[in-house]
Amino acid sequence: MHSQTVIVGGGMAGMSCALRLMERGEEFLLLTDVLGGRIMYSAGKDVNYGAYFVMSNYKHAQRIVEKDKRINPLDACFHKDEKTRFSTLSLHTIGSLLGFLRFISALLEFRKHYETYKERCLNIPQKEALAQDPYLERLFHLPAGDFIKEKKIEQVAADYVSKFAYACTGADINNITTVDFLNVSLGLLIPIYQLRFDQQAMTNKLGDHLIFDTIADITKGSTGYTLTATSGTTYEAENVVLATPATVTQKMLNLPEIRGACSLYVYHVAATLKPQYQKRGLNLFSSDSVLSLIARQKDGTFLIYSRKKDVDLSKICLEFKIIGTQEWDHAMYVYGGTYLDQTLGGGLFIAGDHNGLGLEPSAIAGIYAANQINRQ
C-alpha cells in the first residue's frame, strides 16, 4: 500500500498532523493501534484516564478535544505532609502574598514570550524558535529549582506551585526544566478545563485515511520508506511522520538518547475519602508522596494519581470500589535536557512531546511536521 505521507501514531501530534494535511488536500495515511494516544477518554464513564486538562489557550489542541467542566483552582487542598495542609485561600496564603506576587510577575513574563514561541513553532523548528528568544532558550536549559531560587519564591513553590506542577507532571521540580515548569503553572493563571474526546467523530472525520495497524519497522530506500506492520502489511511513502511516544521513536530510529519519562498510575474509584481529603475537589501533594493528585469528578467519583503501582487505597479511602485503572509506565517525557531534532532529512519527521510536555506543544509539533511536507 502506497501513500505520499504516512503518519505513525494517533495521539495529539498525529491527529493534528493529519488534520493539517487534510486541509491542504494532501495524500496521507494515519497508522495507529489506538486513536487518542494519551488522551484516553471513556465516554461511558465520562472520565479521561490520560491527559487530565486542557487550558483555555490550547487553540490547536481544542480542534481535537472539547472543553468540559472548568477546574476551580480555589477548590484545592495542598498537603505538605500527613498532618499539615492548607487551602488555596487561607491565612497561610496571605502570609505568602509577596512570594505569590513575584511568582505571578515571572509567570506573566514567561507567558508573553511563550505565546510568541508557540506560533513560531508552527513553521520553524523548536530549536530555531528558541534561538530567536534568548530568554526562553535560557529557561529551556535551566532546572526549575534554580529558577525558583533566582526569583526568591522558594516558600510559595514549596507550599503551592511545586505541588501543582507535581500533579501535572508526576515529577519533582528539581528534575524538570523551567520551561516545562512555567508551562504547566500557567494553569494557575488562566482557565483550565477537564476535556472530552469524541473518538468516533474523529474516526469518521479521518475516514479512509485512518488505518488501525501497528508499525514494527521502518526502512529507508532510494525513493522513500517501507514500513512493516505487525499485521504483515507493508506501506510505502515518500514522507514519514513518527508521532509515536519517544520510547517507540527511539527504538524505531535507534536514537542514542531521549528525555526520561515519569510513571503515573490512575485509579478511578467510587469512594468515601478519609476526612483530610473530603473538603476540596482537588488534593495536591508534595513530591515526597507517592500520590500526586486526587480529583473529584462530576458524578462524585474520584481519580487518584500515583507515581507507584499498586498504591494502598485503604490509606486514602474509608471505603472504595475500583471502577477502572490505567498504567502509564512512560507518562510524560520530563527528565533531562535531551533535544530531538524534528526534521531528520529525507522526508522523515518526528512529532510529539519529546522536547516539551503538554497537549498544545504536541499539537503544534504535528502541525509543524505537516507544514514541512513538500517544502524541503
Confidence of residue 174 (pLDDT cuts 50, 70, 90): confident
With b meaning 16 or more CB within 10 Å and e meaning fewer, what string describes 119-148?
A: ebbbeebbeebbeebeebbebbebbbbebb
Proportion of the chain above pLDDT 70, given as a percent: 99
- The amino acid that residue 255 corresponds to is L
Q: What is the DSSP string of 266-333?
A: EEEEEEEE-GGGTS-SEEEE-TTSSEEEEEE-TTS-EEEEESSSS--GGGTEEEEEEEEEEEEEEEEE
Cell numbers representing residue 33 in the block: 493501534
- Determine the pLDDT at residue 375: 66
Place of cell 520510547: 247
- Determine the pLDDT at residue 30: 98
What are the tens digits of pLDDT across the range 74-130?
A: 899 999 888 889 898 887 788 788 989 999 999 999 999 999 999 999 999 999 999
Q: What is the DSSP string of 38-50?
A: T--EETTTTEESS
Helix (H, G, I), strand (E, B) or coil at 22: helix
CB distance 373 to 26 below 8 Å: yes
- The amino acid that residue 272 corresponds to is T
Cell numbers representing residue 245 in the block: 511516544
What are the tens digits of pLDDT across the range 322-340?
A: 999 999 999 889 888 888 8
Cell numbers representing residue 253 in the block: 530510529
The ranges assigned to domains in the chain are 2-45+197-259+336-372, 71-108+140-191+262-331
Of 304, 57, 328, 56, the residue nearest 194 (C-alpha): 56
Q: Within 24-125, where are the H helices?
A: 91-95, 97-120
What are the tens digits of pLDDT across the range 356-371?
A: 889 999 999 999 999 9
Q: What are residue 94's phi and psi, to 5 degrees?
A: -60, -40
What are the tens digits of pLDDT across the range 222-243?
A: 889 999 999 899 999 999 999 9
Fold type of domain 71-108+140-191+262-331: Polyamine Oxidase; Chain A, domain 2 (3.90.660)
Query: What is the number of other CB atoms lying within 10 angstroms of the CB of residue 20?
Result: 22
- Determine the pLDDT at residue 299: 92
Query: What is the number of other CB atoms lying within 10 angstroms of the CB of residue 52?
Result: 19
Q: What are residue 257's phi and psi, to 5 degrees?
A: -155, 140
Q: Where are the beta strands (DSSP E) in the chain?
A: 2-8, 28-32, 41-42, 47-48, 53-55, 66-71, 76-79, 85-87, 192-196, 210-212, 215-220, 225-229, 234-242, 260-273, 282-285, 291-296, 302-306, 317-335, 343-345, 348-350
- The answer to whether residue 376 scores a pLDDT higher than 60 is no
- The amino acid that residue 88 corresponds to is T
How far is 18 from 30, CA to CA, in rounded Å? 7
What are the tens digits of pLDDT across the range 9-66?
A: 999 999 999 999 999 999 999 999 999 998 998 888 889 999 889 999 999 999 999 9
What are the tens digits of pLDDT across the range 277-306?
A: 999 999 999 999 999 999 999 999 999 999
Consecutive H or E run containing 206: helix 199-206
Q: Which CATH architecture has domain 2-45+197-259+336-372?
A: 3-Layer(bba) Sandwich (3.50)
